[in-house]
A and B are shown apart, each in its own frame.
Chain A
Amino acid sequence: MKARIIISLKAGVLDPQGKAIQTSLHDLDFHTVNNVRQGKCIELNIDEENEELALKNLRRMCEKLLANTVIEDYSIEILD
């Protein structure tokens, strides 16, 4: 099955990249934009038929490597 993991900065952690993006958007006259946060999207195939087991493994992957839980949160989505 295919999974998509979104890794985002925890609220309150300074995000200079998000800030730079927001400035650029404002420069392009998109003034209604605020609170930009930049994250990461990782997509992968996992050879697992049992969705619960897959999710368990994916969570472990996030905890162990894909996210640094000091500053990042993660969310997992099973795609088709």
Chain B
Amino acid sequence: MKAAIIVFPGSNCDRDIKVALECSIGAKPEMVWHGDSGLPKCDLIVLPGGFSYGDYLRSGAMAANSPIMREVIEATRRGTRLLAICNGFQIATEAGLLPGILMPNASLKFICRNVLLKVESVKSDFTINYSKGDVITMPIAHRDGNYFAPPKELEYLEQNNLVAFRYCDSTGRPTTKANPNGSAGNIAGILNEEKNILGMMPHPERVVDSRLGGLDGKVMFECLLQQLS
């Protein structure tokens, strides 16, 4: 499985996802600088977390207009998988790859903590080895993670099972208390219609080592390895 990680000025979690892929599935991802042209041929592209362009103007807005994104968009149209984590999710929505927008957290504060997520859709290469309804643990670390989309689009997501993960309590219920940032419908991650793009605010690359938080992220990378090899 060939993977490419796009690095924008201000990306911070590029090394983290590289190491996570190396350690959990033995992948050797290529780091692609945003200013380079010529995205290598690959099975998986990652838009990593961080603060591309300092989150200035709007999170992900400037990175979404980077030249490399044209190639990324084209690649996804050809079926290449795209994993968009945190700032990557913000970039993906700004680039029109996923519907909606990530707005400032309802508390107006940056939040870094472990959250419980309910796996809502297992019909994707990213989630196939989870079981529907699984409650997993992953950390979030963001200031603009409040998912918003116009009502019609939200309805479309729900009706077509395009919600991948939802913030929930220990029994799997998407309560207000379990929602750390005010996201509509407690949405933590979504898929595009073709299910080759996953955008999510939590950081799976931070849960690949039992000594450092758990293994629930490793499962996702193992899914990808299995499906894309």
Contact = CB atoms under 8 A, between A and B. Distances in A.
Direct chain A–B contact by Cβ atoms under 8 Å? yes
A71 B104 contact: no
B61 A70 contact: no
A39 interface: no
Interface in A28-71: 64-66, 68, 70-71
Interface in B56-72: 57-58, 61-62, 65
**Chain A interface bracket (under 10, 10 to 19, 20 to 34, 35 or more):** 10 to 19
Contacts of B107: 16
Interface residues of B, number: 18
Contact of B58 (A13, A16, A17, A68): A68
Nearest to B105: A16
A1 interface: no
B94 A68 contact: yes
B65 A71 contact: no
A68 B61 contact: yes
B106 interface: yes
Given A64-B65, A70-B100, A13 B148 contact: yes
B57 A65 contact: yes
A17 B104 contact: yes
A13 B150 CA distance: 9
Interface SS, B side: loop
A9 to B, nearest CB: 9
Nearest to B108: A16
A70 B57 contact: no
Interface in B75-110: 94, 100-101, 103-108
Nearest to B62: A65
Contacts of B108: 16-17, 20
A16 B104 CA distance: 8
A70 B65 contact: no
Interface string A6-17: 000000011011
Nearest 4 pairs of A and B residues by beta carbon: A70-B101, A16-B106, A16-B108, A71-B101
Interface of B: 57-58, 61-62, 65, 94, 100-101, 103-108, 148-150, 182
